[in-house]
Chain A
């Protein structure tokens, strides 16, 4: 067979593979937007749910998801970035650090419902936080830690070693070199990892199922020890647990969650490309 023909067939197959990826995503997004948009109005976004959630809005679920994401960020970012700095900059290659790396890789592969059970056992029952925003955010934080640590460690390692050597040769301590040179250079990668982690946290149902999510709670949480509604769990509830639920409310909720997550990931790409352009190596 003519080798140019082979090449053409090859390209066609590869293009087809790309299409197979893109088409379902577009289909999902278009369906949700078209059906969900009918539900979206001011009341839907800002009112409490009424009539067994068949009317009114999803305001407490939106607030709940935002609060949970914020809480996850507060708990996970310092620990995750700190851990990544330790692993990338300080830790020598010992059996212990290899065990830590292995643990991180394995943590990333644990099903989210297992995190939910773990959170129930540790935070809700043992530490007696009860079903609360605190317990839910900490559970989500533990789930997102491996994502943040791996991304941040990779970003730190991508900064050329020479910068650290130069900084040391100019009388900088190891920490000064990290603080003034390495961290600023690794920041875009770290931010990307953090936002990816937050996206995951915002969209997960299983970890919050036993730790924080309320089935129906038409008021805003007053403290971190309160339960709250949250978008992914609310979507699960109204799709499977409430008979006679208007379909447009389901799609409307899905659309709000989708917009929330897509806007976060857009912010991540903007930040990344902004810093990429300023990078000097």
Chain B
């Protein structure tokens, strides 16, 4: 379905927590410089799949994985993978805004600092660039040294996006990034996605079908651990091929 070499290739991936399957034989290409939406009702395995792309599920005990995940053609589960380095290439934004303790500035430069960047000017540049990309700079430029927890929920979530962008990742994974936000903040986050996809590969689990339809360049529908339908455009929302997809996007269940 995807013409050029995909940025990420999910190959026959299965995954289980304590013997309970969460994903079954999923194969999916995520193309570069586009927004790929993974949507479907809760428990479909979307978040699990997202967390497999930067190996965050390594932190969970008692799980089993099969299949391969390729980033630029390289298997990220190969034994010689530098996992922290992988996570710098593949950034993640979580469902709830989770600022780290500390100031706005400390939050944004946390990643680069751990990566060994000490130069003040480089850190300041990363701060300005990533906050601008996350459409937050104008609102916080005078509050950089305030506690991050003092920002509003919407600002905190964009701060979390900026924090990931500070590492100049190649891929950005967003797990229901607007689930806790009001419509205005949601709009701002969605707008920033349009800008961001010029430079990044984006995979997002949206918090509603409507949001999926608004932001999708590619869309994949998941149900109970199975990938039901994957289309390289928004047609999945208007002319779904599978009955189950149609039932979900028209609101018959979910």
Interface residues of A (CB under 8 A from B): 92-93, 162-173, 176, 180-181, 184-185, 279-281
Contact = CB atoms under 8 A, between A and B. Distances in A.
Contacts of B84: 168, 171-173
B107 to A, nearest CB: 9
Interface stretch (B3-11, B26-34, B110-118, B189-197): B110-118
B59 A165 contact: yes
Interface of B: 54, 56, 59, 61, 84-85, 87-88, 91-92, 94, 96, 98-102, 110-111, 114-115, 147-149, 163-164, 167
Contact of B91 (A169, A173, A181): A169
Contacts of A280: 99, 101-102, 147-149
Nearest to A161: B59
Contacts of A166: 94, 98, 100
B61 A170 contact: no
A90 to B, nearest CB: 12
B94 A281 contact: no
A176 B114 contact: yes
Contacts of A176: 114
B114 A180 contact: yes
B9 to A, nearest CB: 21
B166 to A, nearest CB: 8
A192 to B, nearest CB: 19
Contacts of B87: 168-171
Given A181-B101, A184-B101, A170 B111 contact: yes
A149 B140 CA distance: 41
Contact of B110 (A92, A164, A170): A170
Which 6 residue pairs of A and B lie closest in terms of their CB atoms, listed nearest first?
Answer: A170-B111, A171-B88, A169-B92, A280-B149, A171-B84, A171-B87
B59 A164 contact: yes
A273 to B, nearest CB: 17
B217 to A, nearest CB: 24
B87 to A, nearest CB: 5
14 contacts: A93-B61, A162-B98, A165-B59, A166-B98, A167-B100, A167-B110, A169-B94, A171-B85, A171-B88, A172-B111, A180-B110, A181-B100, A280-B101, A280-B147
A180 B101 CA distance: 10
A162 B95 CA distance: 11
Contacts of A167: 100, 110, 114
A171 B81 CA distance: 13
A163 B84 CA distance: 16
Contact of B56 (A165, A173, A180, A181): A165
Nearest to A93: B61
Contacts of A173: 84, 114
Contacts of B94: 162, 165-166, 169
A218 B129 CA distance: 69
Contact of A169 (B54, B85, B96, B102): B54
Contacts of B164: 169-170
B111 to A, nearest CB: 4
A219 B102 CA distance: 50
B89 to A, nearest CB: 9
Contacts of B99: 280
Contacts of B91: 169-170
A171 B56 contact: no
Nearest to B163: A170
Nearest to A159: B101
A164 B98 CA distance: 11
A172 B100 contact: no
A92 B98 CA distance: 25
A227 B111 CA distance: 52
A170 B94 CA distance: 12
Pick the most buried of B54, B84, B94: most chain A CB atoms within 10 A of its CB.
B84
B98 A171 contact: no
Contacts of A170: 87-88, 91, 110-111, 114, 163-164, 167
A171 B167 contact: yes
A189 to B, nearest CB: 14
A216 to B, nearest CB: 53
Nearest to A176: B114
Given A170-B114, A180-B114, A184-B101, 15 more contacts: A92-B61, A162-B96, A163-B100, A165-B56, A165-B98, A168-B87, A169-B56, A169-B92, A170-B110, A170-B111, A170-B164, A171-B114, A173-B84, A180-B110, A280-B149
